[in-house]
Amino acid sequence: MAGENDVIDSPTGWVASHIKQYVETGGKKGHMWRNGAPTLLLTTIGRKSGARRRTALIYGRDGDAYVVVGSKGGSHVHPLWYLNLTEHPEVELQVADQTMRARARTANAEERARLWPEMTRIWPDYDRYQTRTDREIPVVILDPVS
């Protein structure tokens, strides 16, 4: 993987601070977040800029795969990281002190029905976020690749 300095971190202040702490400590600080929610760092390729962009997301597991939710707090538009991975599904993950490549895909209806309750168990606010918007909040499956 390329060096850390060629990645653009989230412009949101608290997310950027979370990422910085996560990276500097190899995930010792930041992996477990508020109320014990596990987080990973997701690096996507910007669909317009081509730049590597990184954000921190709460995650769950589904076998070997990681699962994240494109909630954006219930906004009426998808988060930019989600739009990026729909164009460029090859992504990079950091989970605690492990880094890996993964292929991202949006869960189909059956997968979403199964995974949504698991994700709301980890972060109950996802249900509230869904009530704020007419869009179906996407559940994304990140399958590690070698």
Q: What is the mean pLDDT of the chain?
A: 95
pLDDT of residue 5: 60
Distance CA 26, CA 61 (A): 20
How many domains are contained in the chain? 1
Question: How does DSSP assign 101-125, residue by residue?
Answer: EEEEEE--HHHHHHHHHHHHHH-TH
**What is the CATH number for 50?**
2.30.110.10
pLDDT of residue 117: 98
Hey, is 140 helix, strand or coil? strand
CA distance 23 to 47: 24
Q: What is the pTM of this model?
A: 0.93
CA 86 – CA 84 distance, rounded (Å)? 5
Residue 114 CA to residue 139 CA, distance in Å, equals 10
Q: How confident is the model at residue 1 (pLDDT cuts 50, 70, 90)?
A: very low
pLDDT at 146: 83
Q: Which domain holds residue 20?
A: 4-145
Over pLDDT 90: what percentage of the chain? 92
Q: Taking Cα atoms as reference points, which of 80, 69, 76 lies closest to residue 117?
A: 69
> pLDDT category, 35, cuts 50, 70, 90?
confident
Helices (H) and strands (E) in the chain, counts: 4, 9
- Residue-wise pLDDT for 57-95, tens only, equals 999 999 999 999 999 999 999 999 999 999 999 999 999
- Closest by alpha carbon to 57, among 83, 81, 76, 74? 81
Average pLDDT of the segment spanning 28-43: 94
- Return d(Cα 126, Cα 9) in angstroms, integer: 23
- pLDDT (tens digit, 9 = 90+) per residue, 98-133? 999 999 999 999 999 999 999 999 999 999 999 999
